[in-house]
A and B are shown apart, each in its own frame.
Chain A
Amino acid sequence: MNRLLKTREIWLALAILAVIVLVTFRFPRFSQPANLLTIFNDTSILMMLALGQMAVILTRSIDLSMASNLALTGMVVAMVNAAFPMIPIPLLILGCILVGAALGAFNGILVWKLDIPSIVVTLGTLTIFRGLVFIISGGAWVNAAQMSPAFIQLQRGSFLGLPILSYFAIAVAILVYILMTRTPQGRAFYAIGVNPTAAVYTGIDVGRTKFLAFVLSGAISGLAGYLWISRYVIASVEVASGYELTIIAACVIGGVSIAGGIGTVAGALLGALFLGVVNNALPVIGVSPFWQMAVSGAAILIAVILNARGESRKGRIILKKAEVAA
């Protein structure tokens, strides 16, 4: 099983390499380290979000509200920064993570305590969060002139040749990796995805675990809110509109099973990188950016067809169904 997962990620890495090599044949400069680092940096936000979404999908749930959460948290932090430029940026980032986590916790509570299917809850909060962006901003934009220089410049600084934004992605990836592979909580995400009944018998609270997955995806969305706003230097109602599906696409391409329990940090990262590389390569080889959407759609379908082969789980049910504790 483990070997199988490893090969899947190797295949995806090879696919990414193949795209890079093919483009390099026509445009040698594409594979220069500087350009590859740019692509990595461009994909940083998507990689983080994909990791948050993965935690939720592992528990057999789905979070459609991530992009709206990002937009709402981003608008909040932009307005706070515009009104009180003296607040230090690290404090603002902490605030973003907390606001995002609180929004995620709202999703999580409804899933945990009321047992409403996550797709219904997050479908609702998807519209509610984005509507709130309009209400708090009155439909107005917060633009570059209103944001403080430190707010905009923080992620543009670089350290050892890599932009700070990339370090955010690396840090989130390391933290999620440790959480998923080295802590009981991380294993619980997998356990309730693979077999919720068995998880109940081993003493895992299914509802609480789902709740924590939503808090995690919310916190990452919040962090991404700040990074997105300070990167594109505009906060508006339309920020990241429709992006929730790109995040899910990255997970699916990365081999995260929508049925829960299967998925790795490396896979989700590679899935996001694949989309990033393809989106960067298309304009380079002279394909109109209007092809992007169809290409990523085709990539999702191919990925899911390939992944479905290794996914059929075999196993015997020894215990009868447990009533899943609410």
Chain B
Amino acid sequence: MTDTTASGRRLPDRLDTPLKSAVRSWETLLVLVAIGIFIANSIASPYFLNAWSLSDMTFNFTEKALIALAMALVIITGEIDLSVASIIALASTLMGLVLNQFGAPTPVLVLVGILTGLACGAFNGWLVTGLKLPSIVVTIGTMSLFRGIAFIILGDQSYGGYPRDFAWFGQGYVWWVISFELVLFLVAAVIFYVLLHHTNFGRRVFAIGNNATAAQFSGVRVDRIKFVLFCLTGLMSGITAVLLTARLGSTRPSIAQGFELDVITMVVLGGVSILGGAGSIIGVVLAALIIGLVTFGLGLLNVPGIVMTIFTGTLLIIVIALPILWNMWKARQA
């Protein structure tokens, strides 16, 4: 976001052959890392290779990954949304509010959660595109604002007593070990894959990220697309609020604290350029899987959560730094 114009991208004289570029692609690297961690986990813990264990593993990442899908598009256009976790807090609080004040049934709860997310996203989008403000500052502001409203409503209290059919969204299984959350994530991943890589809309998202001015002159409605993307991120945060609230069965204003950094870590690890203009949904899905595998594997080894964050933080820096070091080394050889 901040140093977008420092250096231009160079176009190569000759493109790699499809096979060669596939081998050298970011996704291949991520697949190898994922396989490596999977094998390491299987060796390290006897409890890992088990259908139910692996099913539990998916709960570690599906909620964050749902937001990461939309966040990837936002970051590809060169913007960022730091308010996603606070949107979850506000949406969850409002769901608890309508439940406790009016005894709203499950469909209304879900609707309230999703619409709150959408409204928050639209507010972000309006500030960024309507008032032309930098998204990083706007969303730092709304990050405080949205969670702040949740704190005003709830204070140090909590909401609970969610109905049993509501809990299914976070705890239910569609078939055998396949959870509803996982199915929802896979469906969303396919939708976002098609949206980003096989539609005009997706091409425009990349065009904006590479050169917003050129895109504007080519007839791309830059502001409208950015607005839609912020709405989309809000929507996914609202959906995640439903899942998370249903899974935990209670709401506190501090719910989902720190999620935004995990989501952005997933997106960046997935090969999306933080400067905009490049990235793929497959990469983001793989990165989500890797983070899920790492945290679950470490959890089986009784590693505390705070230490796991060292692993994800280090993984983030190393995976970004390695290709750069490799290119520098190669440039020195030549």
Contacts and interface: CB of A to CB of B under 8 A. Distances in A.
B268 A120 contact: yes
Interface string B121-144: 000000100011110111011111
A131 B321 contact: no
B6 interface: yes
Interface string A76-119: 00000000000000000000000000000000001000111111
Interface residues of A, number: 53
A132 interface: yes
A116 B275 CA distance: 10
A125 interface: yes
A291 B148 contact: yes
A308 B133 CA distance: 7
B105 interface: no
Given A124-B314, A131-B310, A301-B127, A252 B274 contact: no
B167 interface: no
A42 to B, nearest CB: 19
A160 interface: no
Interface stretch (B26-34, B242-250, B257-265): B257-265
Contact of A61 (B2, B5, B149, B264): B2
A110 B8 CA distance: 20
Contacts of A285: none
B21 to A, nearest CB: 23
Contact of B131 (A128, A295, A305): A305
Contacts of B1: 119, 258
A134 B305 CA distance: 10
B11 interface: no
B325 interface: yes
Contacts of B134: 258-259, 304
A242 interface: yes
A135 interface: yes
B310 A259 contact: no
A123 interface: yes
Contact of B3 (A60, A135, A296, A308): A60
A324 interface: yes
Interface centre among B141, B258, B321, by most chain A C-beta atoms within 10 angstroms, is B141
A293 interface: yes
B133 A305 contact: yes
Contacts of B7: 321, 323-324
A126 interface: yes
29 contacts: A120-B274, A120-B316, A123-B316, A124-B265, A125-B313, A127-B261, A128-B309, A128-B313, A128-B317, A131-B306, A134-B304, A134-B307, A245-B82, A245-B144, A249-B144, A252-B137, A252-B141, A258-B2, A259-B2, A290-B151, A293-B151, A294-B144, A297-B148, A298-B141, A301-B127, A305-B131, A308-B131, A323-B7, A324-B7
Among all A-B residue pairs, the 9 with the closest Cβ atoms: A294-B148, A297-B144, A297-B145, A131-B310, A293-B148, A300-B141, A127-B313, A127-B309, A128-B313
Interface of A: 60-62, 110, 114-121, 123-128, 130-132, 134-135, 139, 196, 206, 237, 242, 245, 248-249, 252, 258-260, 288, 290-298, 300-301, 304-305, 308, 321, 323-324
Given A127-B261, A298-B141, A301-B142, 8 more contacts: A62-B136, A114-B325, A119-B274, A124-B313, A127-B312, A245-B82, A293-B144, A296-B144
